[in-house]
Amino acid sequence: MSDTRYPSNRRGHIIGWGKALPERVLTNDELATLVDTSDEWIRQRTGIAERHIAGEGETTFSLSLKAAQDALHITNLDPIHLDLIIVATVTPDYPFPATACLLQDALGAQHAAAFDLQAGCSGFVYGLSVAAGLLAAGLYRYALVVGAETLSRITDWTDRTTCVLFGDGAGAVVLESREEPGGILSSVLGADGSGGELLMIPGGGSAHPTCAEMVQDRQHFIQMKGQEVFRFATRTMPEAARQALEKAELGVDDVALFVPHQANDRILQTAAKRLGVPEDKMFSNLARYGNTSAASIPIALCEAIEQERIKRDDVIVLTGFGAGLTWAAAVVRWSLPLPSPTPRRRTIVWRSLRFRWARLRSRLRRLWRRVDARLFNLRYEQDGRRKRRDEE
Ligand code: UT7
């Protein structure tokens, strides 16, 4: 396990946040027409009432883009100043290139390093922690961390034990390295690969490459041993939160709000009991979104801000668990005044022009790459002809 306390005065501060959810909502009653389940069973066992499902053309990248644009809008930061983009996801648009690179191009973040991070539902806190470390070390000034998923694309819609749980969405934060009190104070990241098979997609990787037989056996969908994951979650989430608080030299009583991974209301209730905090200190929006894996914590964070559950100087704890198995917690002292001021119309227009310019720039670069390839081929052929003539 890796524990990190950021000792210097320089820390990553959250200065922007955004979320994106597909329009299409799938209710429990609709699900009951697909598999043998009921609204009552799903609500009682999980707390989920509905979830958002990506429509045609909507992908992890498109949801990431919307969430990232919203987060950048709040900061008024030109994406050209971003130094780093991390997208935490288990459902990238492609095995490669990274979804973070698609995002880097679409935002026009020309100077940003970009990579995807895969740590299951703990992915966002892993990403936040990696970015915060680089910012605290003074290597970068601005970072964008996104948690985004289209789990509906890897869900087996004939398996009632999993398909009732998951949803699609994205959340993003912009971090700035600042020499002032607050920001991301500490984090704890952990993994136990011996539990890998409790929550996995067996097929489609190098162990079992995609083939007709594998698809026929439905090995390209999520498989989960729910009860074992449940037990793991109720143990590790509160433990990780406590350890991260200890690193920050804070106690549970100092925390204004826990923003946990949204997997099951019963997990959140047990975690609250184990931490000895009232249930209303555990933020929950499970009812409307279900489990959106790496996206669940940043979406919940955005909603907590929208609902004015967070104010300046509050200590908040983000804590998650997931496939791997992995767990993660981060302690944040909120350093920005809330609610954030409404931007002027001129600013809104300017920001949307920036994103249009990024799109145009991307097209021009693709076009130039084609022209450049054509010119290179011409030169290569000419050289070849000249060489043959010289030899004759
Ligand atoms: O992000 C991390 C990912 N995963 C999680 O966090 C999941 C953690 N686990 C859980 O949330 C819970 O274990 C579940 C919600 C997945 C399952 O709840 P449970 O209380 O552990 O149910 P169970 O697996 O013990 O199943 C109880 C019964 C079984 O029937 P029998 O054998 O008692 O007759 C299941 O077949 O409920 C049945 N069942 C269902 N019935 C109606 C399982 N799924 C469903 C369903 N609708 N969707």
Helix (H, G, I), strand (E, B), or coil: what is residue 191? Answer: strand
More confident residue, 381 or 172: 172
Q: How far is the CA of 51 from the centre of ligand 1 (A)?
A: 17
- Catalytic residue from among 52, 220, 261, 264: 261
pLDDT of residue 53: 98
Atom of ligand 1 nearest to the CA of 229: 8
Atom of ligand 1 nearest to the CA of 121: 1
Does residue 52 carry a catalytic annotation? no
Q: In the chain, pLDDT over 90 holds for what percent of residues?
A: 86
Cis peptide before 278 (omega within 30 of 0): no
pLDDT of residue 345: 81
Atom of ligand 1 nearest to the CA of 31: 48
Q: How far is the CA of 45 from the centre of ligand 1 (A)?
A: 7
Q: How far is the CA of 48 from the centre of ligand 1 (A)?
A: 13
pLDDT of residue 13: 96
pLDDT of residue 4: 65
Cβ contacts of 30 within 8 Å, gap of 6 or more: none
User: Confidence class of residue 204 from pLDDT cuts 50, 70 and 90?
Assistant: very high
Please compute the mean of the pLDDT values over residues 19-29 and round it to a whole number.
98
- Catalytic residue from among 13, 73, 121, 302: 121
Please compute the mean of the pLDDT values over residues 254-271 and round it to a whole number.
97
Nearest residue (CA) to ligand 1, atom 18: 45
Q: How far is the CA of 161 from the centre of ligand 1 (A)?
A: 6
Nearest residue (CA) to ligand 1, atom 41: 37
- Judged against a pLDDT cut of 90, whether residue 96 lies above it is answered with yes
Architecture of domain 2-333: 3-Layer(aba) Sandwich (3.40)
- Judged against a pLDDT cut of 70, whether residue 2 lies above it is answered with no
Q: How far is the CA of 162 from the centre of ligand 1 (A)?
A: 8
Does residue 208 carry a catalytic annotation? no
Q: How far is the CA of 223 from the centre of ligand 1 (A)?
A: 12
pLDDT digit string, tens, across residues 153-198: 999 999 999 999 999 999 999 999 999 999 999 999 999 999 999 9
- Judged against a pLDDT cut of 70, whether residue 340 lies above it is answered with yes
pLDDT of residue 14: 97
Angle between helices 265-275 and 226-247 (to 10 degrees): 40
pLDDT of residue 346: 81
Nearest residue (CA) to ligand 1, atom 28: 161
Please compute the mean of the pLDDT values over residues 314-330 and round it to a whole number.
97
- Judged against a pLDDT cut of 90, whether residue 143 lies above it is answered with yes
- For ligand 1, residues with CB inside 6 Å are 37, 41, 45-46, 121, 160-161, 164, 199, 224, 226-227, 229-230, 233, 263-264, 291, 293, 322
357 to each of 76, 109, 143, 362, how far by Cα in Å? 16, 11, 21, 8
Cα separation of 257 and 189, whole Å?
A: 20
Please name the residue that has the structure tokens 């052929």. Answer: 381
- Judged against a pLDDT cut of 80, whether residue 342 lies above it is answered with no
pLDDT of residue 351: 80
pLDDT of residue 5: 65
- Judged against a pLDDT cut of 90, whether residue 318 lies above it is answered with yes
Please compute the mean of the pLDDT values over residues 87-113 and round it to a whole number.
97
Atom of ligand 1 nearest to the CA of 266: 11
- Judged against a pLDDT cut of 70, whether residue 1 lies above it is answered with no
Please compute the mean of the pLDDT values over residues 235-262 and round it to a whole number.
97
Nearest residue (CA) to ligand 1, atom 11: 264
CA-angle at 136, arms to 261 and 120, nearest 5° = 25
Does residue 121 carry a catalytic annotation? yes
Tokens of 262: 């949204």
What average pLDDT does the chain have? Answer: 94
pLDDT digit string, tens, across residues 350-378: 888 888 898 999 999 999 999 999 898 88
User: Confidence class of residue 392 from pLDDT cuts 50, 70 and 90?
Assistant: confident
pLDDT digit string, tens, across residues 74-90: 998 999 999 999 999 99
Three-state SS for the chain is CEEEECCCCEEEEEEEEEEECCCCEEEHHHHCCCCCCCHHHHHHHHCCCEEECCCCCCCHHHHHHHHHHHHHHHHCCCHHHCCEEEEECCCCCCCCCCHHHHHHHHHCCCCCEEEEECECECHHHHHHHHHHHHHHCCCCCEEEEEEEEEHHHCCCCCCHHHHCCECEEEEEEEEEEEECCCEEEEEEEEECHHHHHHEECCCCCCCCCCCHHHHHCCCCCCEECHHHHHHHHHHHHHHHHHHHHHHCCCCHHHEEEEEECCCCHHHHHHHHHHHCCCHHHECCCHHHHCECHHHHHHHHHHHHHHCCCCCCCCEEEEEEEECCCEEEEEEEECCCCCCCCCCCHHHHHHHHHHHHHHHHHHHHHHHHHHHHHHHHHHHHHHHHHHHHHHHC
pLDDT of residue 34: 94
pLDDT digit string, tens, across residues 105-136: 999 999 999 999 999 999 999 999 999 999 99
Please say whether the beta carbons of 158 and 56 come within 8 A.
no
> Among candidates 304, 253, 319, 48, which has minimal Cα distance to 164?
48
Atom of ligand 1 nearest to the CA of 261: 1
Nearest residue (CA) to ligand 1, atom 2: 322
Atom of ligand 1 nearest to the CA of 224: 4
- Judged against a pLDDT cut of 80, whether residue 210 lies above it is answered with yes
pLDDT of residue 60: 98
Q: How far is the CA of 226 from the centre of ligand 1 (A)?
A: 6
Ligand 1 pocket, mutate which of 230, 234, 261, 291 (most atoms under 8 A from CB): 230
Nearest residue (CA) to ligand 1, atom 20: 45
